[in-house]
């Protein structure tokens, strides 16, 4: 991926203009989903459709296959992390989020996911750390601002 383009998108996430920020967010998601071309994106969408239909075992099988055959496919790791999170398997979700970040350090979805996982297990200090790291990339993210405040309230 073109690092200059990624740098421009990262800057756009901090733009005062909400439309500019939303376009950058959309570009990142498109880039991540299409990292392995149209076929990779199609398989990710297929797995998401299965999750929405509460067919998590089938969805996980697709994601496992993608990860086994293309271990550098960051969004496959991230999608499986989301699935694990939804199932309450926080250790597995944390592991897959961390793998996503090894592959794509600016993956704000995985950073946010780590915050959610740590908050879910009552580790509010680490949750705050990951929500703040997400805010470093997306300073206008109201959900992360709110989650930080909620975690701080849990510490008091």
Token pair listed for 5: 């383009």
Domain boundaries, the chain: 1-33, 36-103, 106-156
CATH of domain 36-103: 1.25.40.10
Q: What is the DSSP letter of 82?
A: H
Residue 1, pLDDT > 80, answer: no
- What pLDDT, in 10s, does the model give residues 21-43? 999 999 999 999 999 999 999 99
- What pLDDT, in 10s, does the model give residues 76-93? 999 999 999 999 999 999
- Residue 74: Cβ-neighbour burial (10 angstroms; 0-12, 13-18, 19+): buried
pTM comes to 0.95
Residue 156 binned pLDDT confidence (cut-offs 50, 70, 90): confident
* C-alpha to C-alpha distance for 16 and 34, rounded to whole angstroms: 28
- What pLDDT, in 10s, does the model give residues 94-136? 999 999 999 999 999 999 999 999 999 999 999 999 999 999 9
């Amino acid at each position: 991926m073109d690092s200059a383009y990624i740098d421009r998108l990262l800057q756009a996430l901090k733009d005062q203009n909400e439309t500019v920020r939303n376009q950058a967010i959309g570009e990142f998601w498109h880039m991540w989903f299409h990292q392995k071309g149209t076929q990779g994106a199609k398989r990710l969408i297929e797995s998401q459709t299965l999750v929405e239909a509460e067919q998590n075992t089938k969805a996980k099988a697709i994601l496992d296959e993608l990860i086994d055959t293309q271990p550098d496919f960051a969004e496959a790791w991230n999608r499986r992390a989301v699935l694990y999170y939804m199932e309450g398997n926080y250790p597995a979700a944390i592991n897959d989020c961390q793998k996503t970040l090894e592959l794509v350090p600016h993956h704000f979805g995985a950073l946010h996911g780590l915050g959610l996982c740590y908050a879910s297990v009552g580790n509010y200090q680490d949750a705050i750390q990951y929500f703040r790291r997400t805010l470093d990339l997306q300073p206008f993210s109201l959900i992360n601002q709110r989650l930080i405040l909620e975690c701080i309230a849990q510490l008091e």
